[in-house]
Amino acid sequence: MVAMRAAILREFGKALEISDVARPEVREGELLIRVEACGVCHSDVHLADGDWEALSRAAKLPLILGHEVAGVDVASGARVGVPWLRWSCGVCEYCLGGRETLCLKQRITGVMADGGYAEYMAAPASHAIAIPDGLSAVEAAPLFCAGVTAYKALKSSGLRAGQRVAVFGIGGLGHLAVQIAKKMGAAVLGVDLDEGKLAFAKECGAEEAMPAAEEKASRKWAPDVAVVTTASVAAYRTALRALKRGGTLMVVGMPKEDIALSVVPLVGGEIRVIGSAVGTREDCREMLALAAESGVRCRTETHRLEDVNDLFERLRGGGILGRAVLRL
């Protein structure tokens, strides 16, 4: 057996086990990727904790988590990344219609197949994505989920240059959404409970930043688009009331419970409500190109694989500004 180091989820609700396991065998059409960096997404924590029933049912156990992967194809030496969408069928109505993230046969990295919390991983060559020269592995890794998710949400909103955007939750996704919206020519308001994250929003280019409690102030700002990246039901209610008439509410953050939106402002203001999940391969390529060319960057802190359980605890408490990245 050719061994490698990995962090393994053996049981929901339990800590990950750091141990040596067999290096994956590569099937026809797959790449063997030497992992250089893997972002630690809050979705990994939710999966490990068993918070999302549908995801838990889909997951294989034991499982190597991690869906923000940047590394090197062992055979060719090419720099590639692996996103949440590990594989899609390519022939269904969704794939043919440019919406492969809705493919009913899709396979998810770090859920249905082993991901990047390991020294090596296997992935379909068809869905591995080239990393531009202008990005290091650590810079690129979080863009394969946090970056593309924020980008896709803003793209789907129909945002136009000169409009106003309010980003609710200045975390791993939110601080990237601020930067991306700025590059799209929008004026940006950052909203969060944490004073440090409000200052962070200003660092990322937000014209204004206000505490989530100042609901009247956010209403006066009257954004055309509100992007909610936090898993807070209250944030959705505030965002809905803050939007200008005819505005768009982008549903990105996923609370454990359902969000209940008031019908009066929804109907009276003719508000559009759009759900947005991760992104397609083309969205990933566009996001990576934007980052390489414009300087959009995820705030990162790097850690060893052995630190992953401590990072999960910090994520549960909201204690990470930006994104934690494992360096393998």
Give 264-302 pLDDT, tens digit per residue: 999 999 999 999 999 999 999 999 999 999 999 999 999
What CA dihedral angle connects 266, 212, 283 and 40, to 10 degrees?
-140
Instruction: Report whether 167 contacts 192 (CB < 8 A).
Output: no
pLDDT at site 137: 98
Instruction: Please tell me the least confidently modeled range out of 98-107, 201-210, 251-260.
Output: 251-260
pLDDT band of residue 152 (cuts 50, 70, 90) is very high
pLDDT at site 270: 97
How do residues 220-234 score in pLDDT, each as one tens digit? Answer: 889 999 999 998 999
pLDDT band of residue 218 (cuts 50, 70, 90) is confident
Residue 132 tokens read as: 């531009």
Cis-peptide into 62, omega within 30 deg: yes
Largest Cα span, the chain? 64
pLDDT exceeds cutoff 70 at 102: yes
Structural domains in the chain plus CATH codes: 3-144+279-327 (3.90.180.10), 147-275 (3.40.50.720)
User: What percent of the chain shows pLDDT beyond 70?
Assistant: 100
Report H helices in 20-173.
Answer: 42-49, 53-58, 93-96, 137-140, 146-156
Angle at 42 between CA 143 and CA 15, to 5 degrees: 125
Give the C-alpha separation, 239 to 260, whole Å. 12
Please list, in sequence order, all residues whose beta carbon lies within 8 angstroms of the beta carbon of residue 5, skipping any fewer than 6 positions away.
Answer: 18, 19, 20, 118, 119, 305, 328
At 63, phi and psi to the nearest 5? -140, 140
- β-bridge pairing 129-130 and 79-82: antiparallel
Closest CA to 13 of 36, 37, 45: 45
DSSP structure string for 226-278: EEE-SS-HHHHHHHHHHSPTT-EEEE-S--SSPP---HHHHHHTT-EEEE--S
Task: Give the position of tokens 């197949």.
Answer: 113
Please list, in sequence order, all residues whose beta carbon lies within 8 angstroms of the beta carbon of residue 203, skipping any fewer than 6 positions away.
Answer: none
Give the C-alpha separation, 215 to 225, whole Å. 16
pLDDT exceeds cutoff 70 at 217: no
DSSP structure string for 109-136: BTTTB--SSBSEEEEETTT-EEPPTTS-
Closest CA to 166 of 265, 264, 241: 241
pLDDT at site 70: 98
Give the C-alpha separation, 249 to 174, whole Å. 14
Query: What is the pLDDT averaged over residues 60-84?
Result: 98
Please list, in sequence order, all residues whose beta carbon lies within 8 angstroms of the beta carbon of residue 115, skipping any fewer than 6 positions away.
Answer: 38, 63, 64, 65, 66, 67, 69, 82, 109, 121
How do residues 18-48 score in pLDDT, each as one tens digit? Answer: 999 999 999 999 999 999 999 999 999 999 9
